[in-house]
Amino acid sequence: MSAMALELKSLGVSFGGFKAVDGVSLQVAEGELRVLLGANGAGKTTLMDLVSGKTRSSEGRVELYGADVTNWPEYRVARAGIGRKFQIPSVFRELSVRQNLCVAATREPSIVRNLRWGFDRQDETRVDEILALTGLESVQQRQAADLSHGHTQWLELGLLIAQRPKVILLDEPTAGMTQAETRKTAQILKALRGRHTILVVEHDMAFVRDIAERITVLHLGRVLAEGSVAEIERDPRVRQAYLGSHGIASPC
């Protein structure tokens, strides 16, 4: 049986008397790729904020491999092993793709020192693996500022992977992407499945069908349903609250 990488226990937060997240309990096993679904206002992004330490919870616990990391500052949560990618990419625009990844892969905190003295062979090998995984090999010498939207998103995902997080949080990773870029992103995430524990918030239903092993549906800050794609599609509560009559669309 797989270890439990991330566990939320009755997690909640209120803003001015409004419960944005209301007693959410969730278990994500090591190596699992879990998708969070829900309409706007369901509490998905707020839940990610609670897990990553961006927002302090009013109740409940966040556990990483059994260790309580509830309400830790963001930097401590990140150091503990929870990495998060936001909708808007954040990369070193003045550096090349490869330099970006080298800086993320090394354990030396000084960027200037890294660029001046170079990187060790172990880090370089790690970067080669990430370039291959993300399909960025052909643009590795290009300055990050000159990348397309899709390439920039894959670079930021690569930066996250390079830091060796135990759990990866992805907030709408296909936002603004073309169909081709979305399909490639699905391929990348499926390649990461099993090697990394991943929690994804996404609205693109074709993408969800392509990558999802297990889906958790949030509604009004609570867990409405949980299961496989087929189970979620059949659930009448989910259809009424979110999916409507069409279910989860097939991928293009």
pLDDT digits (tens, 9 = 90+) for 85-118: 876 667 899 999 999 999 888 865 555 545 544 5
Per the listing, tokens 């930097």 go with 75
Which two tokens mark 6?
């991330």
Closest CA to 168 of 6, 4, 2: 6
- Looking up residue 10, the CATH number of its domain turns out to be 3.40.50.300
Q: Residues 24-32: what's their mean pLDDT?
A: 96
Closest CA to 67 of 57, 80, 53, 54: 80
Please tell me the pTM assigned to this model.
Answer: 0.88
Question: In this structure, what DSSP letter does residue 59 have?
Answer: E
Q: Is residue 24 part of a domain?
A: yes
Q: Is residue 147 part of a domain?
A: no
- Residue 231 to residue 105: CA distance in whole angstroms: 39
Q: Is residue 156 part of a domain?
A: no
Q: Is residue 129 part of a domain?
A: no
Average pLDDT, the chain: 88
8 A C-beta contact, residue 198 and residue 95: no
Residue 5's H or E segment, with its range, is strand 4-15
Task: Give the per-residue pLDDT at 245.
Answer: 45
Per-residue b/e over 155-170, b at no fewer than 16 CB within 10 Å?
bbbbbbbbeebebbbb
Q: Is residue 112 part of a domain?
A: no
Task: Give the per-residue pLDDT at 142.
Answer: 96
In sequence order, the β-bridge partners of residue 27 are 7
Q: Is residue 74 part of a domain?
A: yes
Beta carbons within 8 Å of 205's beta carbon, 6+ residues apart: 243, 248, 249
Banded pLDDT at 159 (limits 50, 70, 90): very high
Tell me the chain's radius of gyration from C-alpha atoms.
Answer: 19
Task: Give the per-residue pLDDT at 122.
Answer: 77
8 A C-beta contact, residue 207 and residue 178: no
**Higher-confidence position of 108 and 127:** 127
Q: Which domain holds residue 223?
A: 4-81+165-243
Q: Is residue 226 part of a domain?
A: yes
